Chains A and B, each alone.
Chain A
């Protein structure tokens, strides 16, 4: 126990002065988190606009002259890649991970603040490289977010010149940025917790972020390696992924490479990536539900082990994305089985969320509405996942709108629901002010119902066999007239939902200045970040002394206690009881 003292040394912890050192070249995890969040939301808005353009084309074909087949494919690709990596991964881990880890485990900052700062600036560089591909000749790559070779780097694919190179370089830079941040998150959780904060007392938010970061550190290498190899295929003319091929009537120099190898590498990254996004969301939604239902999370230990189990299993399911690529039937059997097994801990979590709500004192606040919305969309997307996990069901549904609907429900809308819940939930702590409640409720209902208006019909389109990523359907006989009107209706809903997000943006910006002043702990939450001496927390978070943790993070509605919550930092003898007795703890702890 010789190194703990470092956390208590405040003499090295000079608060920076001056705007630039405080808010730009900042090493404070809270400022870095906000920098991450603003950048991620900014690129996320670009991706949102791209999806709107796609919907315009699909809903009203031939009406918009500025969308041609090439640009449509570019929109598809950039929308997917930005949303998955540059928005969700960056906002959940870089944003919330950075903000919440030190506060929730009772640390003054990340263990290596300088590295943390570098992580953000490297991430920003990755974003700039990515966005710059919109402005080069040929535009960004249009290879689909999976970037499958050989088509990704061959003539005829939009952006096969500079676009794909910038994409791959940007991904490599992003991975470097993520590694710098991720090493910090894992080390902070393992080594810099405050006194009394055992691993099994950490809020589930931290568990989710912690395991997701480990997944990232082990899964991103696969993407890095495949990006390097594809860059060499493109720039040096190597043949890692390129078989002998005839392109535009001309036989190319490549020979003997394996496109399937890329798919394996990509999905060895790509599937854990789903859980890199999902696990922090699982964690945060658990805390939001417990806090706003005034009830301890049901089965805390099970929830933790489910997160760990999902993390482990997520590395052995990747080839379920590749059933149509062709594989030995025994492998298909293996990956279908593991895929169905991973549904067990996931379902366990959903049951536990619902059981937490059961007989809880549910406050339908805006964060809670989004959290409950998440339970719906996630269950929905999870169930269709069971279908697609089975080889025989997957084959006819592959590359149809059913798949689009499935993954948007489960890893698009669901984490975004949690992100909104989390932003609204922690907004009073981050800014010191309340958001506007009415606007928040409008935002929720329009987003939630709009989501269903968009994605429910898409399942049906998938059953009809409407293929995804197509610019237009042409004269396909098997697609009935009704599919076109359905597409138009989906597009209208999508545009409305897109515009509705302006309410959210307006709300968080407006409330920054004009919101009602919030107290330190407006929701009556138990975890440490709500117990800081200042709101918003200052540099160093805890003032002179670090908090001491005496209990788990879910002491809500404890029988006999005066208040319906007991913060983690309150000792048993300090708990006010109704009958004046001394609180003696309870078996959950």
Chain B
């Protein structure tokens, strides 16, 4: 019953291409077939990240709530998160390095996306691998930080010698959840990088690299908030 003869149906759908600003938004949302001019997987990643944003927002809101309502004193961040190197007490040293590494990895990821769209598979592979390695070193340093907090400072999820027991629990939970995201990202990057190298996307196109990149940038962005709320407050 439905043939293709009705292609001339005047439904203001696809004829408007060169519009800008609000008009193009309205046109996109009023069109048939698709709202966003992007592959399905990319849109799905955006929606997933929106959902994940809610998870991290709720974690951080809970953290703020817990920190403000608890009656015991909250440990000072410049004390807890300090390294003592050659007798000097340097606050936030480790975390500064970790943040730097993660931000750098966002840079290598962005370059990987660029080279992927240019079709340079080898550069894409090495840049993605570099991103994964930077991510892995971030997780490694986090493990070091956790060890220091647990072994040297005696901080446990259920209590610590410096004050409010919620400090340890919320810190380990949120940084742990973030670390889990980074670890998954490292595995995801490694798999996609390998597939890029093998040429699995030669036909389909290299959108997948950008999708992986979206996830990776998101994890970095979340880290900026965690950094600000835990280490600078």
- Chain A residues with CB under 8 Å of chain B are 1-4, 6, 111-112, 179, 182-184, 186-187, 190-201, 217-218, 220-222, 224-225, 228-229, 232, 236-240, 253, 255-258, 261, 264-265, 268, 531, 545-550, 567, 569-571
Contact = CB atoms under 8 A, between A and B. Distances in A.
B29 to A, nearest CB: 6
Contacts of B62: 225, 229, 240, 261, 265
A112 B14 CA distance: 25
| Chain A interface SS verdict (over half) | loop
Contacts of B3: 545
Given A1-B33, A221-B54, A225-B62, A198 B69 contact: no
Contacts of B30: 198-200
Contact of B166 (A6, A239, A253, A549): A239
Contacts of B65: 258, 261, 264
A222 B31 CA distance: 34
Contacts of B39: 3
Interface stretch (B43-51, B102-110, B145-153): B43-51
A583 to B, nearest CB: 13
B59 interface: yes
B9 interface: yes
Interface string B10-44: 01011000000000000001111111111111011
Contacts of A196: 9, 11, 13, 32
B71 A256 contact: yes
Contacts, number: 163
Interface stretch (B85-93, B120-128, B157-165): B157-165
B1 A531 contact: yes
Interface in B48-80: 48, 50-52, 54-55, 58-59, 62, 65-66, 69-72
A312 to B, nearest CB: 15
8 contacts: A112-B44, A183-B48, A199-B29, A218-B51, A218-B54, A253-B159, A548-B2, A550-B9
Interface of B: 1-4, 6, 9, 11, 13-14, 29-41, 43-44, 47-48, 50-52, 54-55, 58-59, 62, 65-66, 69-72, 157-159, 164-166, 168-170, 173, 177
Contact of B55 (A186, A191, A225, A258): A225
Contact of A1 (B14, B58, B69, B165): B14
Contacts of A228: 173, 177
B32 A193 contact: yes
B164 A256 contact: yes
Contacts of A221: 51-52, 54-55, 58
B72 A222 contact: no
Nearest to A547: B2
B97 to A, nearest CB: 29
Contacts of B159: 253
A184 B40 CA distance: 9
B169 A195 contact: no
B58 A179 contact: no
B233 to A, nearest CB: 18
B158 A570 contact: no
A197 B32 contact: yes
A4 B33 contact: yes
A198 B58 contact: no
Q: Which of B9, B13, B40, B169 has the most CB of A within 10 A?
A: B40
Nearest to B63: A240
B43 A190 contact: yes
Contacts of B41: 112
Q: Which of B33, B39, B65, B66 has the most CB of A within 10 A?
A: B33
Given A112-B40, A217-B47, A548-B9, A258 B69 contact: yes
B43 A191 contact: yes
Contacts of B14: 1
A179 B48 contact: yes
Contacts of B166: 238-240, 256-257
